[in-house]
Chain A
Amino acid sequence: MLRLIARRLLVGLLVLFVVSLLVFGASLLLPGDAAQAILGRTASPDRLAVLREQLHLDQPGYQRYLSWLGDLFTGSLGDSLANGQPVAELVGQRTANSAVLLLCSAVIATPLSIIAGTWSALRRGRAVDNVVSTGTLVLAALPEFVIGILLILFFSTTVLHWFPAVALVDENRSLFAQSAVLVLPTLTLVLAVSPYITRMMRATMLEVLDSEFVQQARLKGLPERVVLVRHALPNAIGPVAQVIALQLAWLAGGVVIVEYLFRFPGIGQGLVDAVTNRDLPTLQALVMLIAFVYVLCNLLADVVSILSNPRLRTAR
């Protein structure tokens, strides 16, 4: 079991290394460089040359990658090409903001979907089940930015004026102190990921409820609540954990569009900005971070499914 986790960790590190190579290579393929992106239409040859030298863009690509990698081992993420500030500082604040957003979404979406899915399964074929099934299907079919736009229209600009339409975050105060800006982005993300978890939960729950050991438990005369909590749920949660992990990993990347829509100062917005500015160090840091979350979520999902499955738990 520990050996399995160790092996997974090593593979994860390898994946991160490959990702860093790919991102660097891909960004070199992007037309234009940071100097051109920064100067835009004011990029006259003499000003370009001065800026390129300042940003070390005159060095060959592999040399810049190696110095980036070298810096990484000394714990430095380098300086942003866009404004010269340390990347760690720029990315740090954004990461914290996004983490808050993701955490809120995950903490709400996960139990909500598990409860909705279970409830729907228990009421199989009845009105509640139909409503949940249709509702999740509709939500799953809507892209998250459509959900976001509808929420903005309804809750902030046209019908009601309850929540801010865009997140104008005051960096000097804690995000929780200005929690109103979190409401609509969180709600959008919750509505975007819940349908998948709910539907998966319902499907596995139905399967488990139909299985022989649940029938056996019921025949033994156990109360329905005990059957559900002690026997059905633990067996249903394994496959669902995978879906939850996948959805959380998706959140880390999918947050880009939602952040753009709400002008939320998180990693998504930072990523768009870094690509536009060809700001390689910032781009690398952000992509690595997202890749890291992916690897971590998958690892956790594996661990949970192993723990919930005795056959895997004892396997060598």
Chain B
Amino acid sequence: MLRGAAAGVLGLSAVPLLTSCGTQPPAARGNPTGPPRRGGVLRVGTAGGGSSDSLDVHNPITHPDICRGLNLYEPLLYRKRDYTLESCVAESVEVSKDGLSWVIRIRDGILFHNGKPVRPEDVIYTYRRVTDPKKPQAAANLLSSVDRDGFSKIDDRTLRIKLKAPDVSIHDVFADYRIGIVPEGYDPKKPIGTGPFTFVNFTPGQESTFARFSDYWREGQPYVDELRIINFTDDSARTNALLAGQVEAIESLPYAEVRVIEADPTLRVLKSRTGNWNPFTMRVDVEPLRDVRVRQALRLSIDREEMVNQVLSGHGRIANDMYSPFDDSYAADLPQRTYDPDEAKSLLKAAGHENLQIELVTSPVSQGIVEAAQVMQQQARSAGIGIKLNRVDTGVFYGDDYLKWHFAQDFWGTWPYLVQSALGSQPSSPFNECHWVDPTYLDLVGKAKQTVDDDKRSRLLEQAQEIEYERGGYIVWGFLDLVDAYSRRITGLKPSEKGIFPLDAYRFREVWFV
């Protein structure tokens, strides 16, 4: 039932992948072995955030928000290190044969932080809160197929969710970190979830303190008594705090610091591969990008290996203009697009756009974005393309022209294919930055969404990806690695081959002090 079950067999990893049951510590090189020890205060430095930080699990904006959310709350299902799904608040989820309803069975004995058991009413309240049309929460559009009035309680631990149309992506959405299960009448100011840590204290833009939840359902976890999540807007302040021993772990180590940290005998670097991507976005409905030859020419004028080396200091892998590499349906068989300025030139000539001059809007919205624009500007010269960089501050980027820029950039996390497509590649998507409306593509994705059979669905999605590969609006040049760092005083954080978030997806419930 769980999608992606085959992924674990691929044996990609050089690093032991563990299931989330953390009673057995990892035997990774240099890591201490033995049973986990209880106690201690774990201090973590996160990147970004500010006074608009929030504890509302359904509306996380920044990394500190996500980090807090993942430790206070839990969704129905949970995404493991190998990118497969496991049961969490829900013991099981089952779809009916016609694909129109899901039966959710709640884990026996699972408690909220206030000591009350999770009831079907709480799950229903959660899903209705997320999809409230008056105040739609961040994941609302992923639940568009859910019938808001069709929830029903079957017994004290079971409920049914009705869909307006079959939608297999719901299974992935059950594990969305932005749909943590909250009790009926949830107030984000007094946050209550089922996560491994309970709320103690929170100062927006500064730090938050959480305590060990002693009734947490995973046996023995978490190991530390207290978790402090500290905001750092400045990269060097974050690194300095680690070097001075003021925090045990930090996310997003600046690439320039990797060697310094690796050389320090008291610290460790934690690297994870992810499906995160920072694409160039080309609007397919404006001149000259409307012409598919111009888009392909731009895709051919990028030296992807150089891009990974220069922009990510080698901490990443090249990509092939498609996203969601961990999805079972990822079209890995399509030939890798390479740097070919000559082909780009002749495509542009055929399209009547020889010596193309084009403006690229760039903004430091995420690490390496502006650098990527600068490298592309250099590389595209060989194809006779003149790129004029228009560097704007983040306020302007997300201002009135957001999602309307002709040729710009963005950053995306790691999502399953159908979820990613719903977020950015359909007319109904909230972030369709390429203005990508392709009837054949939509037809394929629509069919795939309703196809319960894994193989059939994968074939449909491969065709959909081929269309994006042939004429889409994204230039996906690489997938980023996450590079974090932590002190050897702690252990339990593990590198991942299929990571999603920094610091082992903020899995602090498995961390203990050596």
Contact = CB atoms under 8 A, between A and B. Distances in A.
A47 to B, nearest CB: 6
Contacts of A149: 236
A314 interface: no
A273 B50 contact: yes
A112 to B, nearest CB: 27
Interface in B328-385: 365
Chain B interface residue bracket vs A: 35 or more
A83 B189 CA distance: 11
A161 B245 contact: yes
B17 interface: no
Nearest to A278: B395
A271 B135 CA distance: 30
A273 B48 CA distance: 11
B158 to A, nearest CB: 33
B96 to A, nearest CB: 31
Nearest to A34: B52
A277 B402 contact: no
A168 B241 contact: yes
A32 B246 contact: no
B8 interface: no
Given A30-B395, A171-B203, A277 B52 contact: yes
A22 to B, nearest CB: 19
A156 interface: yes
B439 interface: no
B51 A273 contact: yes
A310 interface: no
B232 A263 contact: yes
Contact of B243 (A165, A263, A276): A165
A279 B240 contact: no
A9 interface: no
A221 interface: no
B398 interface: yes
B136 A265 contact: no
B129 to A, nearest CB: 14
A229 B206 CA distance: 48
A233 to B, nearest CB: 42
A282 interface: yes
Interface string A238-275: 00000000000000000000001111010000101110
B138 to A, nearest CB: 6
A82 B52 CA distance: 4
Contact of A38 (B61, B243, B399): B61
Contacts of B61: 38-40, 42
Contact of B240 (A166, A272, A273): A166
Contacts of B306: none
A43 B138 CA distance: 9
A166 B241 contact: yes
Given A83-B52, A282-B51, A36 B398 contact: yes
B149 interface: no
Contacts of B121: none
B12 interface: no
A37 B402 contact: no
Contacts of B138: 42
**Which of A32, A149, A260, A272 counts the most B-chain CB atoms under 10 A from its CB?**
A32
A166 B43 CA distance: 13
Interface in B394-439: 394-396, 398-400, 402, 410-411, 430-431
B51 A164 contact: no
B431 A41 contact: yes
Interface string A133-149: 00000000000000001
B204 interface: yes
A39 to B, nearest CB: 7
A26 interface: no
Contacts of A164: 244, 246
B226 interface: no
Contacts of A36: 395, 398-399, 402
Given A36-B399, A50-B134, A262-B237, A83 B206 contact: no
Contacts of A152: 240, 244
Contact of A83 (B53, B136, B237): B53
Nearest to A44: B430
B86 interface: no
Given A82-B52, A276-B50, A157 B396 contact: no
A85 B203 CA distance: 11
B98 interface: no
B54 to A, nearest CB: 8
Given A43-B402, A166-B237, 18 more contacts: A32-B399, A36-B395, A36-B402, A37-B52, A41-B411, A44-B431, A50-B134, A50-B135, A82-B50, A165-B246, A168-B43, A169-B206, A171-B206, A260-B234, A273-B50, A277-B50, A278-B395, A279-B51
The 9 closest A-B pairs by CB, nearest first: A165-B240, A165-B244, A32-B395, A44-B430, A82-B52, A157-B243, A32-B399, A82-B51, A31-B396
15 contacts: A31-B396, A32-B395, A36-B399, A39-B398, A40-B394, A44-B430, A50-B134, A82-B51, A157-B240, A164-B246, A165-B246, A169-B206, A263-B234, A273-B205, A277-B51
Interface of A: 30-32, 36-44, 46-47, 50, 80, 82-83, 85, 90, 149, 152, 156-158, 161, 164-166, 168-169, 171, 260-263, 265, 270, 272-274, 276-279, 282
